[in-house]
Structure formats: structure tokens, C-alpha cells
Amino acid sequence: MEANPFPAYDVAEKLGITPIARVPEDQVWHTMLTPQVKAFLGDITSIEGPLVTDTIEGFFPGDEVFNLNNHMINSDDGKARTRLPYITTLYKTKYGACVIKRDGVKIKCIAWFGDVFRGHGEIILITALRDRRYDGTRRSDDSALSNFPAYHPVFHKVISPEVASLEVSIYSYLPGSKIIDVTGDAEYHDFVDKPFSVINQPEHFLQLFWRAWKSKRAPGQYAVPFPDVSKHVLKGYEEIAKSAGYDFLESCPSHYHVARWFQASGYCYNDSVDAKTMSDFAQALKRIREKGTPLTRQQHSWLCVLQNLQPAELIPEELRLSTLEDGAQSLPVIWPQDNIGLRNLWMHKAISDKGRKLVACHQAETGD
């Protein structure tokens, strides 16, 4: 009798249902939302869902999802559609609302403060966990919950196909603290959000840069973050990832202060070149301080942005960062990404024995 010729496989896995999709909703609520965010939301007053849908539009304006691969799907009602369905649940609260969206590869929570149905709400938290197994391929961008592409085979390369990894993302905003709400200056608001967007306009960039230099806002911080985010979210992410059987947590920090936060929490750089660059930045910033130029935490990150300005002669000499001390041959230190293109600064933390073993083997082979 011939051996069974039929392949055995996990249908759900083949269709893209990853372990993160099976995490219970109550665990998401209790670990991905911080105590201060929950205090602003207040108690849950009603729940709508879970609903399975494939429309771009959400429960209210601002709650839309994405179609990064630009799939053209016709529908009788004329509504824009996503290639794959997702589950969405609306938690109405005493002071706002929270929407938890899920598909096969991602969980995303968006918390709102204010009356979202009358157009008076503002986002106070966006937090997400995303399975990276399809990164480096177009399939990664089929998720309706992803608003940043992850298809590039080099810039979005996974650590190893042999391990399971989750990307973490977190953004928080104290209500009423957005620069545009405080000052009415949309141009300055957009600059702080994405300073590299005007770096090719040197004079304009420097005008806005010196304004930001004197502020307490780091690049990317167009609103004040919730103080307890840095104390709670990474621990919560790790709890969820371990319970779902993942080997790694990964992040894509946007700026120097964010990378240092992850580094202080046990994350390492995926690429040895990035690790060297970040070490060069740390040493160069230290030399600036030792020469008598005091720097705030925010100014550390602004200096990293400034190094990408061209021509370099526009950078004040006392604020130029280089790889070596004076008297030795030095090279300028350039921030490796602009938060606009596809280049990312990937970091990782091994959270399982399998993950730690992979890291140890890599270190033994390369010395990194």
C-alpha cells in the first residue's frame, strides 16, 4: 500500500491566522492600555461588536483602516473595501471610546477622549502588536490595520524564518497638548512631527529647528505623551507575547530618545551597522557635553536630526557630531532613517529560550 500522498498542514496558519490573533480581548484591554489612559477613558458604558467587516470606514470619522496594496474591490454599496476582513469592537466609555481591531496578524487599540460621534474626540493612545512573519513581502501590507509598509526584502527583513516575532508600536497624546491646539501653528506642528520632511529646505528647516531646540518637545512629539506609558507598555507587550508563544519582540524607534528607551529596556539593534552608528552617536553626544554644552534629553534627539542637514557647514561647529575625538581623523555621524522612506532602525529583544539561543549563536558566529 502506498504512503499517504496528501500533505498535512494547518489551514488557519496557511491563511494567515497567527498566534497574536488568538489573544483574549480582556488581556488586550488590561495590558495594552495604561492606568492613566484608562482613567481618561472612564468606565466602559456599552460595547458594540465584535463585528467582522471589510470596509475602509469605521465606526466614526477618524476610525478608518488602510489599503496599502491598493486592492481594487468592487461592492454594490460603493464602499471602499479591504482585501482581507478584520474584527472591530467599539467600547464606549464615560469620557470617550476605545476601538480594538484585530485580523490574522495584528491587534490594534485606539483610545479616544471626548465625544467621537459629534466630532469632538481626539486620539490619546495608539498601541499595536503585529506578527512579522510576512515582512519583506507584499503579503505583509494586505493587513487593513497596517498604515506603514513592510514589504521591502532588505529594510523589512525578518530576524529568522525559524522564530516568531512581534513588532510593538505605541503612541500616546495627552488631551489638549498638541502643538497646533496650543499655538495654532500647523507648520511648526508638522515640523516637530516629521522634521526630515523639510530638511531639504535648509533655511526653513533651521528656522523651525531653533524654535524646537528651545522647547521641551523631542522630534516626533507634537503632543505630550502620557507619563505612565514608558513604565507600563513594554511589560504588557512582553506578557502578551510570551503567553502567545513568541520568541522576540521588535520595534522601529523613530528617533534617538525612543531608541535609547528601548535599549534601556533590554532591546538590541538587529543590524551591526546600526549598533555601531548608535554607539557613535552616544559617544559624540557625550563629547559635546564634556566640552561645556549642556543638553536636555530632547536636544539629544534634535542634534541627531540636525546632522543630516546639507551642506554640513550650516551646522554650528560646536554642534557637529563625529566619530572620533578632536586630534584624530573623524567622520560625521548621520542619522540612519528619516521616518519618511522605507529604511527602518530595527531593534529586538529575545523573550524565549529559542530566541535567546538564536542570539547566542549569532554572537558566537559573528562576535556582534
pLDDT band per the 50, 70, 90 thresholds, residue 89: very high
Strand partners, 66: none
What is the pLDDT, as a whole number, of residue 367? 67
pLDDT at 1 over 60: no
Pairing type for strands 248-251 and 165-172 reads parallel
Beta carbons within 8 Å of 232's beta carbon, 6+ residues apart: 34, 35
Residue 9 has, within 13 A of its CA and on its CB side, a CA count of 9
Q: How many CB atoms lie within 10 A of CB 304?
A: 24
Across the chain, the runs of DSSP E, i.e. the strands, are 44-55, 81-93, 96-102, 106-113, 122-131, 165-172, 248-251, 268-269, 347-350
The Cα–Cα gap between 56 and 64 comes to 5
Least confident of 282-286, 321-325, 364-368: 364-368
The torsion of the CA quartet 130, 136, 140, 145, rounded to 10 degrees, works out to 50
Q: Summarize the confidence of residues 251-271 as an average pLDDT.
A: 96
pLDDT in tens, 27-42: 999 999 999 999 999 9
What is the pLDDT, as a whole number, of residue 328? 56
- Residue 272: name the closest of 137, 208, 366, 337 by CA: 366
What is the pLDDT, as a whole number, of residue 325? 53
pLDDT band per the 50, 70, 90 thresholds, residue 224: very high
H helix or E strand, kind and range, residue 129: strand 122-131
pLDDT at 326 over 60: no
Q: Summarize the confidence of residues 59-85 as an average pLDDT.
A: 91
Tell me how far CA of residue 149 lies from CA of 58, 155, 217, 343, 345, in angstroms.
21, 10, 27, 10, 14
What is the pLDDT, as a whole number, of residue 100? 98
3-state class percentages of the chain: helix first, strand second, coil last, to nearest 5: 35, 20, 45
φ and ψ at 97, to 5 degrees? Answer: -160, 155
pLDDT at 77 over 90: no
Q: Summarize the confidence of residues 139-162 as an average pLDDT.
A: 95
Q: Summarize the confidence of residues 200-224 as an average pLDDT.
A: 96
What is the pLDDT, as a whole number, of residue 115? 96
The Cα–Cα gap between 262 and 217 comes to 19
pLDDT at 72 over 70: yes
pLDDT band per the 50, 70, 90 thresholds, residue 267: very high
What is the pLDDT, as a whole number, of residue 96? 97
pLDDT at 330 over 90: no
pLDDT band per the 50, 70, 90 thresholds, residue 329: low
φ and ψ at 326, to 5 degrees? Answer: -60, 145
Higher-confidence residue: 46 or 362?
46
What is the pLDDT, as a whole number, of residue 141? 96
The answer to whether the CB of 238 falls within 8 A of the CB of 351 is yes
Q: Across all residues in the chain, what is the average pLDDT?
A: 93
267, three cell numbers: 532591546
pLDDT at 235 over 80: yes
Tell me how far CA of residue 120 lies from CA of 116, 133, 330, in angstroms.
5, 38, 53
Higher-confidence residue: 367 or 34?
34
Does residue 336 have a cis bond before it (omega within 30 degrees)? no
Please state, for a pLDDT cut of 90, what percent of the chain lies above it. Answer: 86
Which 8-state DSSP code applies to residue 332?
B
Which residue blocks in 119-220 are alpha helix, DSSP H? 179-183, 186-193, 202-213
pLDDT band per the 50, 70, 90 thresholds, residue 124: very high
What is the C-alpha radius of gyration for the chain, rounded to an integer number of angstroms? 22
Q: How many CB atoms lie within 10 A of CB 45?
A: 11
H helix or E strand, kind and range, residue 97: strand 96-102
Q: Summarize the confidence of residues 289-315 as an average pLDDT.
A: 94
pLDDT band per the 50, 70, 90 thresholds, residue 366: confident
